[in-house]
Amino acid sequence: MDPGRKRKLRLVLALGAALLLVTGLLYTSFNASTEAKTPSQVLAASEGGESYKLTGRVVDGSVERRQDGLAFEVRDRDGTTAVPVDYAGIVPDPFREGREVILTGRIESETFVAERDSLVTKCPSKFTNEADAGS
């Protein structure tokens, strides 16, 4: 094979590999950025084995610390629907009743079973109280 043809073949192969890499990266980045769902959305759409991101507020008086982790309830912002959560893993320092949390997991018999170490606590904004007081 002449050198010019070899060079063109290498270029086509390199461009094809780069195109496959970019396509794979785009596919995984869009799949990884799933939007967090509220308890009512998760319960309504719960299909066996499907993983969801759950967001909501920890219900006051619902936190039960156990040897293997935590059990608590997460409620919608409007307070209409709550889902029990079973969580095992590291508990962030700002985790408290009444705080907003985000968890990744799946529904198993009406309980949201969170993946290990997936609990993220949203920190309250320092402007929240000022905004509430002004309205």
pLDDT of residue 134: 46
Q: Could you tell me if 27 and 45 lie in one domain? A: no
Q: Could you tell me if 56 and 111 lie in one domain? A: yes
Q: Could you tell me if 117 and 58 lie in one domain? A: yes
pLDDT of residue 12: 93
pLDDT of residue 75: 96
pLDDT of residue 16: 93
Residue 83 structural domain: 39-125
Work out the widest C-alpha separation in the chain, in whole angstroms. 79
Q: Is residue 131 part of a domain?
A: no
pLDDT of residue 67: 86
Ranges in the chain, pLDDT < 50: 130-135
pLDDT of residue 78: 85
* Cβ atoms of 73 and 83 closer than 8 Å: yes
**CATH code: domain of residue 95:** 2.40.50.140
Q: Could you tell me if 7 and 71 lie in one domain? A: no
Q: Is residue 133 part of a domain?
A: no
Domain count, the chain: 2
Is the whole model's pTM more than 0.85, yes or no?
Answer: no
Q: Could you tell me if 29 and 44 lie in one domain? A: no
Q: Could you tell me if 29 and 48 lie in one domain? A: no
